[in-house]
Structure 1
Amino acid sequence: MTVTRQDIDFLVATAKAAADTEIMPHFSNLTAADIKTKAHASDFVTIADTASEELIAKRVRAAWGDDFLFLGEEIMERQPTLIDRLMEAPRAVVVDPIDGTFNYANGVPAFAVIISVIERGEVKGGIIYDPVRGDAACAIAGGGAFLVGNGRPDRPLRVAPAAPLSDMQGCAGWYYASPEERDRLLSGFSHAWGIMNYRCGGQEMRLLVDGRIHFCYYHKLSPWDHAAGWLIHREAGGYSALLDGSPYRPDLRAGGLLMTPDEASWNELATALRG
């Protein structure tokens, strides 16, 4: 199997349908009963997350049949062993129905719908759709990265030019890191020009692949959060690896993913972060 531009256009249309039908009608319109917490007091799930995931699953199955693994963030809460099948599945569709639910639940317009297609452990296609802007950062493995939607012509995506560490700025998340790891990471990031955190990896990676920032770092990993962005970043010319230098795999749940414009800047920032 292979992912085509037609497949990507279908996934973008599916994300748009979820946004128009389930996400945006509830935005800034949720009651306390519509929001629940998960692993942490600031880790939310809303009725829109669940409804969005169900709509995406229904549309993908209607178009592609049932001969694939559907792995959604909310399904994983109920069936955590599903991820054990990810690397061997002939095709998997991996979905974060609302990335940045903390923002969404608090009325902050920075969230995304993330969908990737993974075949036998290899990320073959991915999109990060912005429900507010109505466009998507997309990539096909070996086919480049591009921005589509919102009535505008397609536009190629390209990472920022490499810069000295002292001039680099980017986004970082160290949730679930130990106190010692946090101290080490913060010390390393102090060598960069600046760091920020949007509480939405999808929006942060959109900035990254469009050359607006130089790096992203994610301590805790999940395929619904990072697989699509990892592919789009690679196809936009970027370099990434785990903090120990090993390659990214979509089944990994830890290890620290560092994404930069090129290998030289990765080495410089990784050296600082490792202490």
Structure 2
Amino acid sequence: MAELDIAALANTLQEAAATEILPRFRNLGDGDVRMKTDAIDLVTEADEAAERLIRARIAEIMPDAVFIGEEAVAADPALLDTLADAELAVIVDPIDGTFNYAAGLPLFGVMLSVVAKGETVAGIIYDPMGNDWLIAEKGSGAWLCGANGSQVQMAIAPAVPLNQMVGIAAMTYMDSESKRKILGNLADVRMFTSYRCSAHEYRTFAAGHLHFLMYKKLMPWDHLAGTLISQEAGAYVARLDGSPYLPHNFDGGLLLAPDKESWTELREKIFTI
């Protein structure tokens, strides 16, 4: 693979936000928001316009890469099957947190990851409201990069006892019985929540403000960038069965923690089904 132009990719996300996302924020018309699968799974004109712009720029920056966007897969689900065998792929979520965006909540992000031969090698999470990027390239650490050129290395929170842990538990796609059991178990941690936006959940975790993230559904545009960033910031990451999380894994759940010991305790005492 040729050297990655991470700056060009980061600038592309910023351009999409400035051009297509922010002008429509709190300015969507009646026909600009549509349901996909249910009332909390939405798509807006901004999602589709942003993805079109990003796709066009990626074609210029990385012409050999397979482009896999959330909205493109919604239109053609077979596109997702190309990820496992792609020599090079770029995976994009044009607006992560569409529910929040459509509701006028400033809690959404733009995410991009690069997969080479089945391995995530780069991840970017851009915050349009803060105008900064959380960026990781494999083996180079995780960095918060500001529009003014500032760079701060990210490090996850140190391990704490279970009853002091604060984290994210996303259980939207879990069956009722499992959800009921885990909700009971979560009484043993200090606090849990969900931002309905994995972009900001991963950013908060990588910056050291959370002790765990747990997800049931694993769509690549939601988790590849954040998982790499978290690992580069020092996190222990595995699917709920203990196996590594790879780009072609679309199920099996995901758990992130400060270290393997914390991960094991969370898996055994909280996220056991």
Give the TM-score normalised by structure 2. 0.97
The answer on 1:92 being equivalent to 2:93 is: no
Corresponding residue number in structure 2 for 1:175: 172
- 1:33-62 deviation digits (Å, cap 9, x = unpaired): 000001111111000000000000001111
The answer on 1:230 being equivalent to 2:191 is: no
Residue 31 of structure 1 deviates from its aligned partner by 1.2
Percent identity over paired residues: 45
- 1:100-121 deviation digits (Å, cap 9, x = unpaired): 0000001000000000000111
Corresponding residue number in structure 2 for 1:22: 20
Give the TM-score normalised by structure 1. 0.96
Q: For 2:215 and 2:126, locate their aligned partners in 1 and report how far apart those are by CA, in whole Å.
A: 20
SS at match of 1:228: helix
The answer on 1:211 being equivalent to 2:208 is: yes
Q: For 2:110 and 2:251, locate their aligned partners in 1 and report how far apart those are by CA, in whole Å.
A: 22
Corresponding residue number in structure 1 for 2:139: 142
- Paired AA for residue 193 in structure 1: R
Q: For 1:212 and 1:81, locate their aligned partners in 2 and report how far apart those are by CA, in whole Å.
A: 37
Residue 152 of structure 1 deviates from its aligned partner by 4.7
- 1:199-250 deviation digits (Å, cap 9, x = unpaired): 1010011000000111111111110000000000000000011111111112
- Paired AA for residue 11 in structure 1: L
Matched ranges for 1:264-275 at <5 A: 264-272=261-269, 273-274=271-272
Residue 3 of structure 1 deviates from its aligned partner by 5.4
- 1:89-148 deviation digits (Å, cap 9, x = unpaired): 110000000000000001000000000000111000000000000001110011111011
Structure 2 gaps of 5+ residues are: none
Corresponding residue number in structure 1 for 2:118: 121
The answer on 1:194 being equivalent to 2:226 is: no
Instruction: Please identify, of 142-151 and 132-141, the stretch whose mean Cα deviation from structure 2 is larger.
Output: 142-151
SS at match of 1:107: coil
SS at match of 1:177: coil
Q: For 1:152 and 1:194, locate their aligned partners in 2 and report how far apart those are by CA, in whole Å.
A: 35
Moved over 3 A (4+): none
Corresponding residue number in structure 2 for 1:133: 130
Corresponding residue number in structure 2 for 1:39: 37
Q: For 2:112 and 2:67, locate their aligned partners in 1 and report how far apart those are by CA, in whole Å.
A: 11
Q: For 1:125 and 1:188, locate their aligned partners in 2 and report how far apart those are by CA, in whole Å.
A: 35
Structure 1 residues 2 and 215: CA distance shift in structure 2, 3 A: farther
- 1:51-74 deviation digits (Å, cap 9, x = unpaired): 000000001111222x22100000
Q: For 1:56 and 1:70, locate their aligned partners in 2 and report how far apart those are by CA, in whole Å.
A: 10
Matched ranges for 1:243-262 at <5 A: 243-262=240-259
Structure 1 gaps of 5+ residues are: none
Q: For 1:88 and 1:184, locate their aligned partners in 2 and report how far apart those are by CA, in whole Å.
A: 37
